[in-house]
Structure formats: structure tokens, C-alpha cells
Structure 1
Amino acid sequence: MPRMILNETAYFGAGTRSELVAEVQRRNYNKALIVTDKVLVEAGIVSKVTDLMDEAGLTYEIFDEVMPNPTIECALGGIEAFKAAQADYLVAIGGGSPQDACKAIGIVIANPEFADIRSLEGVADTRNASVPIIALGTTAGTAAEVTINYVITDLENRRKFVCVDPHDIPQVAIIDSELMASMPKALKAATGMDALTHAIEGYITQAAWELTDALHLKAIEIISRSLRASVAGDPEGVEGMALGQYVAGMGFSNVGLGLVHGMAHPLGAFYDTPHGVANAILLPTVMTYNAGYTDEKYRDIARAMGVTGVDSLTLAEARKAAVDAVQQLSTDVGIPTKLTEVGVLAHDVDALSDSAMADVCTGGNPRPATLEDVKALYRALL
């Protein structure tokens, strides 16, 4: 049965980080643990938030040990930091990695029976809502501030696993494009293509329905017109990407994703490949693989991406036009086209494929995938 789970409150626009103070005061929270990474601290991004907290007399401690593709060990360290700080709420500042680590911390503090972290994989039977989270994104791509999903890396078993839990969604999301403006071009490109992948996979996933379709199509439109400008440093492009990625998150969080994400997660676990880059490389090829299982949806995608004359195309032509538009956007923002360009090795294909088949996202793919299909898709991109 369709459902929608969203933040209690979300703020959009440059400078909206100032709303954090009023939200904390209104909710009578006492002390925050800020979950972030050292790069954002050193770049002065975190201080754009903590300066406001200091001015308002809000107390906090900072846990900045999050690395890309956060690990079980990282989450455990954050849990201990929360306890030591005697905090009662969390503030996530960052892209997908700090946001995901923060969710794991908040869930385990409220549900200590899942302290091993691994038992949170898939749809865990947690009973209590996370410690309250206020989430401020610094990349325009993951939409982790509005989703019920998070991804943790298991170094021991060389894999990433997805956790899906309605209890983990942040209470408040703040989408402040000023926190995203200083992203390097490569990061804008990667996270932007991640957002496009969310929108496209969410639109064609098996659980898609009318409300999420509307969100995903609008997200595709916003992202397609904004990403090139964002990468070029245009403030309006950054603002557009901030909104577009959030709209995509509103949708896919509630209906799931597909094989692109199922295949991208193992690349992050094996090679530490940036998630958005992995998605972008995989997306056109997997779209081609899925095309025959999508009815008219690729025509809609092509139209949303600005392809002209799409209504006069045959269905096969419209499907190809959608794939070509995605590939062109990816190329224009500098994404590699082959997995070998990001260090993927042919001898790992079997293990990568096994992991992709076990990924929770793969089950939502519109075309049921076999192990041999997945191996062939990886090999086609080497």
C-alpha cells in the first residue's frame, strides 16, 4: 500500500540555516552532538552553523570522524561520543556520509539492541524513533536529509549494506544552498548525477505510483536544467540542484530504487568509488537494460530532460533519446564512462555481482535481474 514519510519540517533557500536556532529552542533541546567530517570543519562550513549556535547560547560537541562511505566502526565511535557528551539531539552537517552515520548513531542510541550495527541491514524491526536529528546538507545529491535510508560499510566483509527504517528520518531538514556553493566541481557533478539517478530509478522502480511519479518527473526536470550551471559555479544552478535533489529524495525514499544503486554500492565497498560517480557510470547502461520494462516512462524522462520533439518519436526512439540525454549530461559534467577509469578490476566482477544481487535496492528494479545479467553489465563497462 502506498505511503509517504517526510520530515516534520523542511526549510529551503540561501541562509535558512539560521532556522536551526529557532527549531532547537522551540523543541527545548539541551545539547547537540554535531556529526560531520574534518574536511567540512577545516573548510569553515561547520562554523557557518556553529557560529549561529554560539550566538544563541546553544551547547554542542563535535564528532568529526566521519569518512566517505561511513563504516560500522565510525557509527560505533559516534555512539560513544553521543553518550560521553550527554547530548539529547543530533545535528548532521554534510553530504551523504555524515547524514548516514548520524542516522545510525541516532537509531542505535534509541534502540540499543541493534548495537552491532549489522542487524540494521534491510528493514530492521526497530521500535523507537531515532534520537532527534536536525539535518543540514552540504552536497546537492544524496537527499539523505529527507530519506528513510542510510548506507553503512562493513570493512570486515568488504561490503556496503542499506538500512531502511522510517524511524531514522530527521525531524528537521535545512536545505541551505550557501552550504553547498563551495563544493568542488567534481563533487557537484558526482552528487548531481546521484540525484538524477535517484529520480530516474525512483520513477521506474516497481513500487512507483502517481504521487512519487510527479515528484520524480519534476526532480528530473529541475536537475537537468540546473546541474551544468551548478558545476560551472552559477548560484542559481546550485539553488536549483539543492531543491531538485530534495524533491527526488521525497519520492525515492518512499518507493525504493533499482539495479543502478544495487551495483553501485559494491563499488564503494571494494574501491571506495564515490557513490555518485559509480551511479553515473552505470546509469545509461542499466537504463538500456531496463528499457523494455518501462512502458512509456522513458518518453516522459526524455521530455523532462528537455528533448525536443519527443512525442513524434517511436517508443524505441524515445527510449534511446532518454538514455542519450542522460549520457550527454554525464559527459558534460565530466563523469568517466568506464569502470576501469575508477579502478574497477575484471577479476572482481564475480564478487561485485554477488554483492549487487544481495543489495536491497536490486529487488526494486523494473526488470528482474539474474546474476549473469549483472556480471554482463559490469563487464560491458570495463
Structure 2
Amino acid sequence: MAVSYSFPTNIRFGAGVTNEVPDYLKSLRLIRPLVVTDATVSRLPFFEKFISLLTTEGLTVYVFDDIHKNPVKSDVMKGRDAYEYEECDCIIGIGGGAAMDVARAIALSIHHREDLFYYDDLEGGTKYIINDIPHFVTIPTTSGTGSEVGRSAIISEDDSKRKRILFHPTLLAKQVFADPELTYELPPEITAATGMDALTHHVEAFLAKGFHPMADGIALEGIRLIFQSLEKAVYKPDPESRTNMMIASLMGAVAFQKGLGLVHSLAHPLSTLLDMHHGLANAIMLPIGLQFNLQGFEDRYERMAATIGFVNPSAEEFISAVIALNRKLRIPELGNLGVEPKHIEALSALAIKDFCLPSNPKPISQEEIKQLYLKSISTTIIH
């Protein structure tokens, strides 16, 4: 058997490492960063402190925060215009997944001047990504998406809201500054949703088609860390739980280079059409996806159950543990979030075309997807 697999980028990890960013940039003679974030993060005290640090150290900073919660192409184009107008020489993505995706897409667009979606990976556009990108730094502020170590950006069309994916090793950050201190003040509901997002990345990566033993090992360790730390990070946060969750988050994005699956394909339309938080959507759909994929893959579920401490591990115990964790974190049911049967047709039409579905371990039809959505809004799953 001959296979190919790869491993991502440089990470500086630890409390307070964001203080090193100015010296890092100046050592490379970079002095005009475009800082890409979202409007919520840009108003937080830690962000103001970070920008003040950059400017005090002699850097000329332009902040771009005009982005949607689920980013669209026009966000990227406005960011590119800002980069060029302000004569920036590097890009810092700071925030959660949306900010990272927009920052990475802006970086791509600077030296790739065709329409942004000309480079859509699912349309074969990756082969046209042939030029370098500006120096790109990422700083996560949540422990969920792991986008700081990713090589892709998910951007939606402005009108249809169809998600498009830009993917290439060139899009990796040159340097990640992962500072758990930036997550200390996250509210419980965001900590819970982003943490379950990270768990979904690990679980789906472990179940995904394909051969990637390093990704499998990372996924199992990430699952262990999250079950050990997430509940505490939500309700009684301390430096250890926050650190473990940030480690698990970036590990999740490393692991899912192997692939994702049905849970993400069910979750993406909930964000696209109904503007639901991506991590929350994943949390809600994870038990549904696990139940669908169970038959034929019991051994994988047993390994996950063993990883979180079951002495006599079984597939059913692992699914039950995920459901129990959702309940402990007060993850709501889909039907309580305004999702109704009238939404199912449009949701399933997007889900069946989702870019994560091909790596799901089992095939699924659009009709089966409809039934999974209906089940998720009409029943509470009990084991």
C-alpha cells in the first residue's frame, strides 16, 4: 500500500505568547499588518491591549473587522481592498473560525486575481494557486475550529449562501501564536459550543475514510483531552482546562486533514441558512451522525470509548457519553432553536452537496438526510 499524508505548521504555544508578536514581525522587517477579526472581538479589552502593544512597538496597524458570522465573498473583497489601500505587508488573523477564514482568503486574493471562487477546491481550482501569499500569522481566541493551523478557508456566496472551499498548503500560517489566556473570559455557552466543535473534528476525523495513522492518533488524544477538560472549562474554568482545550482544538484541525463527514454536512446548512453557530450545530448533530455511522464501524467506536476511560468499551457507551456531555453543557435540541419541518428540504439539498460528505465512512442519500433532520427536531435521543 502506498499513501501520501502531510503535517502542518509552526506553533508557539503558551500563556502570554501574543506579547511576542511585535518582535516576531519586526525580525522579518514587517511593520504594516492588516489585523483581521470580527466586530465582537475588536471591541474586547484584550484586543485593544494587543493593538496598543503593536502600535507602541512601532508597527502601523489597520484593523479590518467588517465580516459576517458566516463569511461571504464580499467580506474578503473588502478586506483585500483595505490591505492594498493601507499598503500592508502582512496579515494577522485573530479570532475564531470566521476571522481566520476571511484572513486566509484575503491572503490568497492578494496575488491571485481571478474571481475568488475560481480557486474553489471542489471545482479543481486548487491547481491555480501557484503564487505566494503575504506573510500570514494566526492567533486563536476560541478553542474550537482549530483554524489557526488549517490550510483552508470556507467562504459562502453572497446570494445563494452556498459554501465554497479554498484549500492549499500555501494557505498555512507561517506562524501560530496560541495563547490560552485569550480564552479565559469566554462565556460558558461559547466555550461549550466551540469545545463540542473541536470534539466533532476529532470524532469525524477518526471515523473518516482514508489512511492517516498520525491523524488517527491525534484524534484519539484530542477526544481524551476534551472529555477530561471541557465541562470544567465551561463551569469552573482554570488555566489547565483552558490550556487543554486550546491544545485539543488545534489538534482537531490537524487531525481532520484526514477528512470529516456527515455531522459537518448536516451542520453546515444550519449555519448557512439559519445563521446557527457552527459549533452549536455540530454539537446538536453529532449524536445523530454517530448513530447513522455506527453499523460496520463498531471497532472504531470501541476505541474511542476506551480512550475516554470505559473499562469494557462499547460503541453504545461512546454515543451515550457524547449525549451525556451535550446535556451537561446544556446544548439545546434542534427543535428548540426554530428549526421546523418546512426547513428540511432546503437543508437536505445543501447537505447532500456538502464538501465533507465524500469522506464520511458510509454513503447516505438525500432522503436519509431528510429523515435525520426530521428525527433531530422531533425526538430526544435517549440511550
Task: Write out the 4+ residue segments of structure 1 that deviate beyond 6 Å after TM superposition.
Answer: none
Equivalent in the alignment of 1:320? 316
Query: Per-residue deviation at 1:26?
Result: 2.5
Match of 1:92, SS state, is: strand
Structure 1: distance between partners of 2:29 and 2:72: 32
Equivalent in the alignment of 2:191? 188
2:335 is the counterpart of 1:340: yes
Structure 2: distance between partners of 1:208 and 1:181: 36
Structure 1: distance between partners of 2:303 and 2:337: 31
Which amino acid is 2:267 matched to? A
Match of 2:239 among 231, 235, 239: 235
Equivalent in the alignment of 2:208? 205
Which amino acid is 2:212 matched to? W
Q: CA RMSD in A?
A: 1.5
Which amino acid is 1:38 matched to? A
Query: Per-residue deviation at 1:207?
Result: 2.1
Equivalent in the alignment of 2:355? 360
Q: Which runs of 5+ in 2 are unaligned?
A: 378-383
2:132 is the counterpart of 1:129: yes
Equivalent in the alignment of 2:32? 31
Match of 1:143 among 141, 146, 156: 146
Which amino acid is 1:271 matched to? L
Give the total of aligned pairs.
Answer: 371
Q: 1:262 to 1:296 in 2, by over 3 A?
A: same
Written as runs of structure 1 = structure 2, the 5 A alignment for 1:1-382 is 1-7=3-9, 9-113=10-114, 115-117=115-117, 119-122=119-122, 124-125=125-126, 126-232=129-235, 233-252=237-256, 254-310=257-313, 318-336=314-332, 338-382=333-377
Structure 2: distance between partners of 1:172 and 1:68: 24
| Comparing 258-267 and 151-160, the one that deviates more | 151-160
Does structure 1 conserve the Cα–Cα contact (< 8 Å) formed by 2:72 and 2:161? Answer: no
Match of 2:176, SS state, is: strand
Q: 1:164 to 1:345 in 2, by over 3 A?
A: farther
Q: TM-score, normalised by structure 1?
A: 0.93
Q: Which runs of 5+ in 1 are unaligned?
A: 311-317
Does structure 1 conserve the Cα–Cα contact (< 8 Å) formed by 2:119 and 2:166? Answer: no
Match of 1:112, SS state, is: coil
Structure 2: distance between partners of 1:71 and 1:78: 11
Structure 2: distance between partners of 1:165 and 1:350: 33
Structure 1 residues 324-361: Cα deviation after superposition (integer angstroms, max 9, x where no partner) = 1111111111111x322222121121221111111110
Match of 1:358, SS state, is: coil
| Comparing 194-203 and 225-234, the one that deviates more | 225-234
Query: Per-residue deviation at 1:68?
Result: 1.0
Q: Could you tell me the percent identity over the aligned residues?
A: 30
Match of 1:378, SS state, is: helix
Match of 2:294, SS state, is: helix
Structure 1: distance between partners of 2:166 and 2:307: 30
Q: 1:38 to 1:78 in 2, by over 3 A?
A: same
Structure 1 residues 221-249: Cα deviation after superposition (integer angstroms, max 9, x where no partner) = 11111101111122321111011111111
Q: 1:110 to 1:291 in 2, by over 3 A?
A: same
Which amino acid is 2:348 matched to? S
Match of 2:137, SS state, is: strand
Q: TM-score, normalised by structure 2?
A: 0.93
Q: 1:118 to 1:339 in 2, by over 3 A?
A: farther
Query: Per-residue deviation at 1:118?
Result: 6.3
Equivalent in the alignment of 1:313? none
| Comparing 339-348 and 212-221, the one that deviates more | 339-348
